[in-house]
Amino acid sequence: MSHPIRFFVYGAMLAGEPEHPRLGGAALEGEARTVVGFALVEVGSLGAIVEEGTGAVSGEIYLIDASVIAKIEDDHPKLYRFESVALEGGDSAWTLVLDRDLARGKRRVSGGDWRARFGAKKPGELTPAGPFVNWARTRNRS
């Protein structure tokens, strides 16, 4: 029997996210954050880590079987590279890394936290109006 692989997830495979079942019931080891030097980008409905910048990315560590990695790689051929990344505290884990060329033009997630990408709001709280909305509200007034 092979040893479980420490796998860092940071986007749609986080607990409670739509792609989490791909982990096949893997055991959660805990929360983690990469060292500085990574950015989190949106690729459609998925998140992706890119080696760039001065930020860090938040996520979770799962203990998974090699067959789970093979299935994930088969589902996303040529999109990600399976690489070891350094984590805060001197540890490391394997994760999926997107090539910089494929990240060109994609939105960077501020703070490197997938779950906070839309901003934290309380139930029923409205998003403050931006410049365009403020302009639209006043454009026909004399």
In percent, the amount of the chain with pLDDT more than 70 equals 89
All structural domains of the chain: 5-138 (3.10.490.10)
Per residue in 104-114, pLDDT (tens digit) is 999 999 899 99
Mean pLDDT of the chain: 87
CA 101 to chain centre: 17
pLDDT at 64: 94
Per residue in 51-101, pLDDT (tens digit) is 998 899 999 999 999 888 888 877 776 778 889 999 999 999 999 999 988
